[in-house]
Amino acid sequence: MTAVAAITIFYPPSDPDGFGQWVIKYLASARRSAGHLSARESIRPTAQWDWAVEVSFTNANFLEGRLDSAQRKSILSEGEADGRWRRSADLVLHRDQPPPAGVRWHRVPPGEEAEFIAAQSNLTRTGSALRGYEGAALFPADSSGRWLSVLRFHTPDQLTAWLSARDR
């Protein structure tokens, strides 16, 4: 299980292929950092999904070192020069703390990935019609087999309303 991770969400790029090449560089840089466990890009089965990356490290010190590193800042600056802007502050997840509301880990049985993605897409489409909806990201299985979904609303109350909605 990941000790600590950071999710970075970006605005949709004007050049998806260029973004993809830049993300390869971003993730490769994270993989060379001390304490690295994993690095992955979100999937976007439909246009409603956020463009995001997740990096995980063995402990908070290694993660903070990565987030504050000159190397990461340089890669982010390079991305910004090409229009790859972060949409929000990094979302940090700790193993010994419950995940923030709207962040869920999922176990998906082998062979059922397409059904899972379709179900998540339907949930996101429904949520996107609600007040305060900001976006959603979906990450493929990590080395432990867990998928990760992130649903963002302006306020905790709006997220709570969505989580308790009958349409969900």
Q: Under 8 Å CB-to-CB from 96, ≥6 apart: which residues? A: none
Least confident span in 10-14, 17-21, 130-134, 157-161: 157-161
| pLDDT band per the 50, 70, 90 thresholds, residue 2 | low
Other Cβ atoms less than 10 A from the Cβ of 112: the count is 10
Q: What is the 3-state secondary structure (H, E, C) of 67-113?
A: HCCHHHHHHHHHHHHCCCCECCCCEEEECCCCCCCCEEEEECCCCCH
Task: Tell me what the mean pLDDT of segment 101-118 comes to.
Answer: 92
DSSP state of 11: P
Using alpha carbons only, give the angle 105, 108, 113 rounded to the nearest 5 degrees: 120
Per CATH, the number for 4-163 is: 3.30.70.100
* Tokens (6 digits) for 54: 């997740």
Give, for 64, the enclosing helix (H) or strand (E): helix 60-67
> What is the pLDDT at residue 33?
97
Distance (Å, rounded) from C-alpha 124 to C-alpha 109? Answer: 21
> What is the pLDDT at residue 65?
96
Task: Tell me what the mean pLDDT of segment 83-104 comes to.
Answer: 87
Residue spans per domain, the chain: 4-163
Report pLDDT digits (tens) over 124-157: 888 888 889 999 999 999 888 899 999 999 888 8
Find out whether 152 and 135 touch, Cβ atoms under 8 Å: yes
CA dihedral angle for residue 25, residue 31, residue 32, residue 36, rounded to 10 degrees: 150
Report pLDDT digits (tens) over 32-89: 999 999 999 999 877 889 999 999 999 999 999 999 999 999 999 999 999 999 998 8
- 1, pLDDT greater than 60: no
> What is the pLDDT at residue 48?
86
